[in-house]
Amino acid sequence: MKAAILEALEKLVVKEVELPRIGKDEALLKVKACAVCGSDIRIFHHGNTRVKPPTIIGHEISGEIVEAGDEVKNFKKGDKVAIGADVPCGECFYCQNGMGNNCAINYAIGYQFSGGFSEYMVLNSLTLRHGPVHHLPKGLTFAEGALAEPLACCLNALELSHFRSGADVVIFGAGPIGCMLVELSKALGAKKVIVTQRSEKRLKLAKKFGADLAISSKDPGLISKILEETSGGADVVLTACPSVDAQAQAIQVVKNRGFVNLFGGLPKDAPKLCIESNIIHYKEIFVHGSHGSVPRHHKRALDLIASGKVKIKNYITHRFPLAHVNDAFAAAESKEGLKVIVEDRTK
Grouping H, G, I as helix, E, B as strand and the rest as coil, residue 102 is helix
Residues of the chain within CATH 3.90.180.10 domain(s) are: 2-146+311-343
Q: What are the two backbone dihedrals, phi and then psi, of residue 28, each rounded to the nearest 5 degrees? A: -105, 125
Interhelix angle 148-160/176-187, rounded to 10 degrees, is: 60
* Integer Cα distance of 340 and 327 in angstroms: 10
Conformation bin of residue 283: beta by default, left when phi > 0, alpha when psi is -120 to 50: alpha
Nearest in space to 57 (alpha carbons), one of 146, 117, 139: 117
Quote the pLDDT of residue 347.
61
pLDDT in tens, 293-332: 999 999 999 999 999 999 999 999 999 999 999 999 999 9
* Integer Cα distance of 34 and 115 in angstroms: 9
**Cα–Cα separations (whole angstroms), residue 301 to 68, 83, 319, 324:** 25, 11, 22, 29
Quote the pLDDT of residue 269.
85
β-pair partners for 4: 14
Domain 2-146+311-343, CATH number (from 3.90.180.10, 1.10.760.10, 3.40.30.10, 3.40.50.720): 3.90.180.10
Quote the pLDDT of residue 87.
97
* Integer Cα distance of 221 and 237 in angstroms: 18
Q: Which residues contact 331 (CB under 8 A, 6 or more apart)?
A: 36, 318, 320, 337, 340
**Cα–Cα separations (whole angstroms), residue 311 to 38, 85, 244, 308, 318:** 21, 21, 31, 6, 16
* Integer Cα distance of 274 and 324 in angstroms: 42
Quote the pLDDT of residue 311.
97
Q: What's the full length of the chain, in residues?
A: 347
CATH class of segment(s) 152-289 = alpha beta
**Cα–Cα separations (whole angstroms), residue 13 to 9, 47, 109, 269, 332:** 11, 16, 19, 28, 17
Residues of the chain within CATH 3.40.50.720 domain(s) are: 152-289
CA atoms within 13 A on the CB side of 55: 21
Residues of the chain with pLDDT under 50: none
